[in-house]
Amino acid sequence: MTNRFVKLSSGYQMPLVGFGTYTIKGKDLIQEVIDESLRVGFRSIDTAERYGNEEDIGEALKVLLPKYNLKREDIFVTTKLSPLSIGSPEKVSNAINKSLTALGLTYLDLYLIHWPGASSVPESSEENIKLRNQTWKVLADFQKRGLIRSIGVSNYLIRHLEELLQNDYGVRPAVNQVECHPRYRQEELKKFCDKENIHLQAYSSLGTSKTAELLQDPTVTSIAKEYNVSPARLLLRWALQQDIGIIPKASKKEHIRDNINLDFDISEDHMQQLSKLPEKKYTWDPIRVV
């Protein structure tokens, strides 16, 4: 899986499989997991302002890139703008520069608006539309200046994307990162993104860390046994087989290794079975954000 890439609308290549770092905190743990992820072949790292681990990731990369004879351009780093920072050009610019400094980088490969709403305003307020627009204008400027190579969004619904595409300041969103797994398949959103050349990237591919419900689903476990793979590997492969990017997080070395060992094919029949699981969303829902 280390050689599978998607060409983004920005012209840059992004690995289809990335290493997620949500909830992974602490200098020693970050060093350990980044070390193992680079060792087994991950070349894409996903973080966010909200995760509170950008600085530790930056420190880890400073030490570990030379260890594996890697240069900056050999890795793809994604981070995201917190809902607290959406809005004025000054707030957005400060957030981007803070992330660059924390990560110890001169440019970001991908920068996403983490959420379509601003923390400072109610979800039902049309002020969110204005603030999203202001924010995108700043991101487009940073891309044109070369400080960010690709820009995109996270948790955007079709209507949020349609609004953005009407006024994109000359830079279309390259990625939409959303919850996606066999119980929350995002078929309509995927069709829309494919049509508009926006890469759909999944988070929470295994459901949620609060419950192992998806990993323990009888259909998932039964099919996984047929391929002699873990339920986690089956769920990740389900996404990849539809050209949906993945960013699985893991803090245990064996899970990090498993999450990139996805060189098997799921039959069409099994893909259909997985895609008929009862629908259930596990994470935050942007449906109420105007």
Spatial contact of 82 and 114, defined as CB atoms under 8 Å apart: yes
The type of residue at 167 is N
Active-site annotation holder among 12, 22, 51, 68: 51
In total, the chain counts a number of residues equal to 290
Q: In whole angstroms, what is the distance from residue 58 CA to residue 129 CA?
A: 33
Q: In whole angstroms, what is the distance from residue 54 CA to residue 48 CA?
A: 7
Query: Quick one: the chain helix, strand, coil %, rounded to 5?
Result: 45, 15, 40
22 is known as an active-site residue:
no
Element (H, E) at 202: strand 199-203
Q: Identify the three-state secondary structure at position 15.
A: strand
Active site amino acids: 51
